[in-house]
Amino acid sequence: MLNNFLLYLSRKIMKIKYILFILINFLSLSSCQTQKEEEGLYNEVIEIHDAVMPEMGTVFLLKKELSIKRDSLESLNKNNQIINEIDNSINELLNANESMMQWMRDFNTEFEGNADLSRKEYLEKEKEKILDVQNDFDYAINNAKATLKKINSVNDSR
């Protein structure tokens, strides 16, 4: 009877070992998948950032060109409406630039997660933020170009 009990017990222990083995492998594979997802998400965030960065030069050049046009119009005491549009375009360019600078200051490449936020959730939020920065840049640049086009068309018609 003792032998039967020991045999029964050894079979249960083997089943438990087998279940633990499968569970550990499953968790290991799951962890690898999560790391790959996080790495992919991190790369997406950095790619968006890297696509926007060259536009900082465009923002600077447009701001400079708009400022020159504004100073010229202001010295001639001409067209306050266009001067206001120029001011708005310059402010949008400055705000877009500042949103990128703020995002870069806040972005934590070393974030590993905490009790409130996993690394994946953090990267998803950062992706949303950098997409907002990209939208700010696109809007500000397009608006500034449209303002410059408008100024040039007004000057050409004179």
Least confident of 11-15, 45-49, 106-110: 11-15
Contact 80, 118 (CB under 8 A): no
pLDDT in tens, 43-77: 999 999 999 999 999 999 999 999 999 998 888 77
- When pLDDT is cut at 50, 70 and 90, the band that residue 118 belongs to is confident
pLDDT for the residue numbered 109:
83
Q: What is the mean pLDDT of residues 24-46?
A: 75
Q: What is the mean pLDDT of residues 122-142?
A: 96
Token pair recorded at residue 133: 């920065």
- When pLDDT is cut at 50, 70 and 90, the band that residue 8 belongs to is low
pLDDT for the residue numbered 58:
96
CA distances from 9 to 3, 15, 18, 35 (A): 10, 10, 14, 39
Contact partners, residue 92, CB within 8 Å, separation at least 6:
136, 139, 140, 143, 144
Q: Is 106 exposed, middle or buried (0-12, 13-18, 19+ CB in 10 A)?
A: exposed
> Chain-wide mean pLDDT for the chain?
84
pLDDT for the residue numbered 124:
93
**H helix runs in 53-118, sequence order:** 55-75, 80-106
Neighbours of 143 (CB within 10 A): 17
